């Protein structure tokens, strides 16, 4: 088995999980750094926005490694899609397919259903709620919780931080409520 075959297949949980988990002690040992993605937006704003906003007045250059990490995630994702395309369609559970078909969602050729996430759908009530309002709520929640799911669930829980446990439980409860109660209502619009 060559390298392309190894990286193009999903890795089992017992390999991927420990590798993700090992990032926490590696970051702490290599430079007393914490893991998180959402903080990179703050660093980018601090670097690019010359306004006199107290939230952005700090030495963002000490966190430049985080910007490189996020850039690596984006470049890696682009390279994976470009160089290792999958001939197989997106795998969606048949029960979920049947439920989504009742809302007119049947295209799974891309990473997101184009019936919901497209430029033309952005100007509908459903698209506006899903993309604009949803994006605002995710950004607000990330800022309000003091971090994103990766920062709290991976870094915070491994450091036994009580706020991260509360945030992670809240993320999960919010996700269940959204997926099972609110999303069907929005998709029915």
pLDDT, one tens digit per residue, over 136-174 is 988 888 888 888 888 888 888 888 889 999 999 998 999
Q: What is the dihedral of CA 20, 24, 26, 28, to 10 degrees?
A: 170
Lowest average pLDDT, out of 28-42, 60-74, 99-113, goes to 99-113
For the chain, the structural domain boundaries read 116-189
pLDDT band at 58 (very low <50, low <70, confident <90, very high): confident
- Cα 118 from Cα 131, distance rounded (Å): 9
Q: Note the maximum CA span of the chain.
A: 55
């Amino acid at each position: 088995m060559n390298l392309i075959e190894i990286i193009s297949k999903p890795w089992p949980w017992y390999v991927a999980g420990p590798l993700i988990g090992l990032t926490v002690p590696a970051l702490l040992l290599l430079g007393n750094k914490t893991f998180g993605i959402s903080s990179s937006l703050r660093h980018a704003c601090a670097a690019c926005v010359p306004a006199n906003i107290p939230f952005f007045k700090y030495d963002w250059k000490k966190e430049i490694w985080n910007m490189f990490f996020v850039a690596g995630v984006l470049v890696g994702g682009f390279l994976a899609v470009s160089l290792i395309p999958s001939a197989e369609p997106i795998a969606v559970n048949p029960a979920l397919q049947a439920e989504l078909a009742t809302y007119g969602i049947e295209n799974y050729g891309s990473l997101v259903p184009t019936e919901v996430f497209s430029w033309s759908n952005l100007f509908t009530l459903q698209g506006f709620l899903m993309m604009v309002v949803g994006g605002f709520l995710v950004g607000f929640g990330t800022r309000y919780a003091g971090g994103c799911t990766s920062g709290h669930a991976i870094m915070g829980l491994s450091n036994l931080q009580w706020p991260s446990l509360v945030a992670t439980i809240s993320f999960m409860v919010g996700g269940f409520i959204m997926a099972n109660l609110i999303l069907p209502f929005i998709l029915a619009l």
